[in-house]
């Protein structure tokens, strides 16, 4: 676990504790996101990861929030999540995302969630995306401009 003072300083400066992935944003856990036990409902960890992944994709030039403008659809075909620590209502969560694999028509996107104040790792996992033709809904190549943007941001994937 991170030193609490360091994590608080990082939070104040906008840096993510332990975040090695190229994009991050914060989400404040709403009471309605929790379950009867008072912690974040398990499926919402993936919702948070997917939401921040969409912001990253927008930054890379893919119109994730407006599929009609996107060159293709992206289907999530697999998602994995390891739950590491409890997250409660009103916690601020730093969600970090980045691509870990690029194939011809599919990609893996990794995610990590941290408590913004304590720096505690809350969850980590991956999302497998398949890029598909909008009409046939069959797999298609990752759009070249999007692939190029990913590699520009994450050159280790070249």
- 50-83: pLDDT as tens digits: 999 999 999 999 987 788 888 999 999 999 999 9
pLDDT at 2: 39
Burial profile 102-124: b = 16 or more Cβ within 10 angstroms, e = fewer:
beebbbebbbbbbbbbbbbbbbb
- Separation CA 33–CA 45 (nearest Å): 10
CATH number, position 115: 3.10.129.10
| pLDDT band, very low/low/confident/very high, at 17 (cuts 50, 70, 90) | low
Q: Report the domain count for the chain.
A: 1
pLDDT at 86 over 90: yes
pTM to 2 decimals? 0.86
Range of the domain at 71: 4-157
């Amino acid at each position: 676990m991170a030193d609490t003072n360091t994590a608080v300083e990082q939070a104040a400066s906008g840096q993510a504790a332990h975040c090695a992935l190229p994009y991050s944003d914060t989400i404040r856990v709403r009471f309605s996101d929790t379950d009867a036990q008072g912690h974040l409902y398990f499926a919402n960890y993936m919702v948070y990861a997917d939401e921040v992944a969409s912001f990253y994709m927008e930054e890379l030039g893919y119109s994730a929030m407006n599929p009609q403008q996107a060159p293709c659809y992206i289907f999530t075909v697999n998602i994995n999540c390891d739950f590491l620590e409890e997250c409660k209502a009103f916690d601020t969560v730093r969600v970090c995302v980045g691509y870990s694999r690029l194939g011809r028509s599919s990609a893996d996107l990794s995610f990590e969630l941290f408590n913004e104040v304590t720096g505690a790792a809350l969850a980590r996992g991956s999302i497998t995306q398949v890029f598909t033709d909008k009409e046939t809904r069959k797999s298609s190549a990752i759009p070249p401009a999007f692939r190029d943007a990913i590699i520009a941001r994450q050159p280790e994937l070249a």
